[in-house]
Amino acid sequence: MEERDPSCNPMEPLLPIKSRSNETQKTKDAPPTPNPAVVLPNDINSFDIVRATQYGVIPRVHELIEAGYDVNQMDHENVSLLHWAAINNRTEIVNYFMSKGAIVDRFGGHLNSTPLHWATRQGHLSMVVQLMSFGADPSLKDGEGCCCIHLAAQFGHTAIVAYLIAKGQDVDMLDKTGMTPLMWSSHRVFGYDPTRLLLTFGASLSKVDKVNGNTALHWACVSGNHVVIKLLLSKGADIDALNLKNETPLDIAINQSNSDLVFKLRQLQAAAEATKKSVLGKYASDKVFRRKVSYVFPFIAIFVIGFIPELSLHWGLKVLFLLVCFIIGNIIFKAFFDESTSYRIPISIYLATKFWMYFTWIFYLLPYMPGSITFHMMFIIVSILLTYNFYKAWRTDPGYLKSNREDKIKTILDLAETQTLRLDQFCSTCLIRKPLRSKHCTVCNRCVAKFDHHCPWVDNCVGANNHRYFIGYLFFLMTMLLFAIYGCITFWQVECPMDFYEDGITGIIYKALKASPWVAWIALNVIAHLVWVSTLFVCQMYQITWLAMTTNERMNQMRYWGMHKMANPANDGECCDDKGEGHGHSHGHNHHEKIVSPFHRGVCKNLVDLMNWRCCGLLRPIQVDWATKYTMDSQPGYQASNFHAEHEGYHLV
């Protein structure tokens, strides 16, 4: 008899486990097996104790035990009743068996394992919690030398891994072959978790098993697990580590004929070697120096591209200088820029463009501007407000969720023991319960309250605490860019009058370049910025006022069940409740799903809430601490009756 996938017919009980080598790999926590309620095969009164336990027929179990059946008696397959109850997630029957003196750590079955092993393999977190509350020992090894944490890791039961570690199990616990949970998850689970969770708890990347001398990276390469390989390398796994056969992870990839993986690993090795041999290698390996280069490089690049054409030299020399600068820039870019510094390029480009735009305004455009004091005061005020909002959006904590190790352990235990430890509401990286509207930012590697998006133009997440500053930054930046465009046009009107019908597009471009290549170059940068800034501002205002959604919620709205309502197109799309009733009467069968934010309070109120405008008490924005908000039930002003985050799977990992 083989193990059955828990997603099969819940009326069919789970059978004994034969061999781990023949099992189907699982990458997600298995759902609890529902208790049979309606139809049972045959006559339940004829069930023996084993079958009654498997199917969860509680009256029959009670009847047979009270009639004298020994609760610790093993069946013909050397399996106890507690094993059968555990693998089928029969929590009430387990309570009854324990009250009758069942041995909680009884070994049995083909793999000589305990009921806790069986529950762990099957992914029944509730059963694991229940058995451990009765004293079950998760550190016991089964017939194949694995403890419960190894089983949970290799089957991808992340919630159980978290619970076991919270209960004191060593994150680097060794099985009889010397494999750690991280090695098992790297080898078996083709997803971020539980590998990511184990790394967060400090799992060792350098430990090797006893049989092969493989690290976790070796095991990931054995199975071609690209997702985990990238994760391990980002955490500092040694790409040149040797196993007992003197094989590196690259050698294993070659032996496995995994061409894609071989290509990626060779690229990484080549880049590492080039850095060591390069003249710039010493500086390129310095993270602080690379960060400085990433900020300074755009300033120099923008200046060089605009300044060389401005020089009074022969065009051939200008081309030569530009070519030389391009070669030097390419060398610097390859040496100092990688994935870790690429996130800073947009904010560096913004700061460089802004700096050279002000330089151009002062030294090129200012003499051509109107003499009105009002005009210049407006320019100064907009500049101050732009700088203020940018700084606040850039440096303000967006709403990072904070927690120390003790709090994380307590959270895991509380959620697990109350049967609410689900990965849609628990961050496996930060190890915290996620409040409403929060999300883990992969760039910052932290969870953010009311997460909107990570914006590279401010090098920060946009969240609960700085969203209003981000909107102000976009608005005043857009205004400043319009000032700059106006200044360039005024400059051209004086220096090179243009007529579209006479000159055409090419003629206008030629005149602008001839008048001042620098001004033309800055104007091009300003126009490029205006396109993305205005587009982003319009999208943000639409989401905030009309949809009452964050960017994250809008992009993933189909996955947020809390935003799904029933609408009746025959009644102007008005929302109905879960029973199809919106106005006290049924609308028939014309219902369809509609995405509606439960946070919608009206176009004006949505904006007032975000910007926190009070206007001397005339406006009353709703103040919500999104870092501690887990349900809608207690929040006035929102559609709480239609939104229950505890049951709707609102969050995303």
Question: What is residue 44's predicted lDDT score, i.e. its pLDDT?
Answer: 78
Q: Is the pLDDT of residue 247 over 50?
A: yes
| pLDDT band of 274, cuts 50, 70, 90 | low
C-alpha 428/C-alpha 200 separation (Å) is 8
pLDDT in tens, 166-192: 999 999 999 999 999 999 999 999 988
C-alpha 443/C-alpha 189 separation (Å) is 23
C-alpha 603/C-alpha 88 separation (Å) is 51
Question: What is residue 23's predicted lDDT score, i.e. its pLDDT?
Answer: 39
Q: Is the pLDDT of residue 528 over 70?
A: yes
pLDDT in tens, 590-611: 455 677 888 888 999 999 999 9
- Residue whose pair of structure tokens reads 């700084």 in the numeric block: 391
Q: What is the DSSP letter of 623?
A: P
Which residue, 3, 6, 40, is CA-closest to 22? 3
C-alpha 145/C-alpha 7 separation (Å) is 27
Mean pLDDT confidence for 65-70: 91
Q: Give the 3-state secondary structure of residue 575.
A: strand
| pLDDT band of 164, cuts 50, 70, 90 | very high
The two three-digit tokens of residue 402, written as one number: 């904070």
Helix axes 345-360, 287-307, angle to 10 degrees: 40
- Please tell me the least confidently modeled range out of 199-203, 500-504, 544-548, 632-636: 632-636
The two three-digit tokens of residue 123, written as one number: 């992914």
Question: What is residue 276's predicted lDDT score, i.e. its pLDDT?
Answer: 56
Q: Is the pLDDT of residue 1 over 50?
A: no
| pLDDT band of 572, cuts 50, 70, 90 | very low
C-alpha 486/C-alpha 502 separation (Å) is 22
For 182, 186, 209, 271, 636, the CA distances from 179, given in Å and listed in that order, are 8, 11, 5, 31, 52
Residues identified as active-site:
455
Identify any residues that bridge with 441 across adjacent strands, giving them in sequence order. Answer: 446
| pLDDT band of 405, cuts 50, 70, 90 | confident
Across the chain, mean pLDDT equals 83
- Residue whose pair of structure tokens reads 């996130």 in the numeric block: 343
Backbone angles phi, psi at 453, to 5 degrees: -170, 165
Mean pLDDT confidence for 607-636: 81
C-alpha 72/C-alpha 95 separation (Å) is 14
Return the exposure string of 274-312: e unless at least 16 CB atoms fall within 10 Å of the residue's CB, then b. ebeeeebeeebeeeeebeebbbebbbebbbbbbebbeee
Question: What is residue 642's predicted lDDT score, i.e. its pLDDT?
Answer: 44
- Give the burial class of 374: count Cβ atoms within 10 A of its Cβ; 0-12 exposed, 13-18 middle, 19 or more buried: exposed
Whether pTM > 0.85 for this model: the answer is no
Which residue, 78, 140, 74, is CA-closest to 110? 78
- Torsion on CA atoms 205, 210, 212, 214, rounded to nearest 10: 0
Q: Which residue has the higher pLDDT, 528 or 618?
A: 528
Q: What residues contact residue 542 under an 8 Å CB cut-off, 6+ apart?
A: none
Contact indicator for 173, 180 with CB cutoff of 8 Å: yes
pLDDT in tens, 340-356: 677 788 999 999 999 99
Question: What is residue 588's predicted lDDT score, i.e. its pLDDT?
Answer: 43
Question: What is residue 230's predicted lDDT score, i.e. its pLDDT?
Answer: 86
Which among 13-22, 432-441, 493-502 has the top mean pLDDT? Answer: 432-441
Mean pLDDT confidence for 380-390: 97
- Residue whose pair of structure tokens reads 């090797």 in the numeric block: 208
DSSP, residue by residue, 52-66: HHHHT-HHHHHHHHH
Identity of the residue numbered 193: D
Q: Is the pLDDT of residue 579 over 70?
A: no
Q: Which long-range contacts (CB under 8 A, 24 or more apart) does 101-104 make?
A: 101/71, 101/72, 102/71, 102/72, 103/72, 104/131, 104/134, 104/135, 104/136
- Please tell me the least confidently modeled range out of 130-134, 454-458, 491-495, 497-501: 497-501
Question: What is residue 503's predicted lDDT score, i.e. its pLDDT?
Answer: 76
Q: Is the pLDDT of residue 5 over 80?
A: no
DSSP, residue by residue, 177-209: TS--HHHHHHHH--SSTTHHHHHHTT--SS---
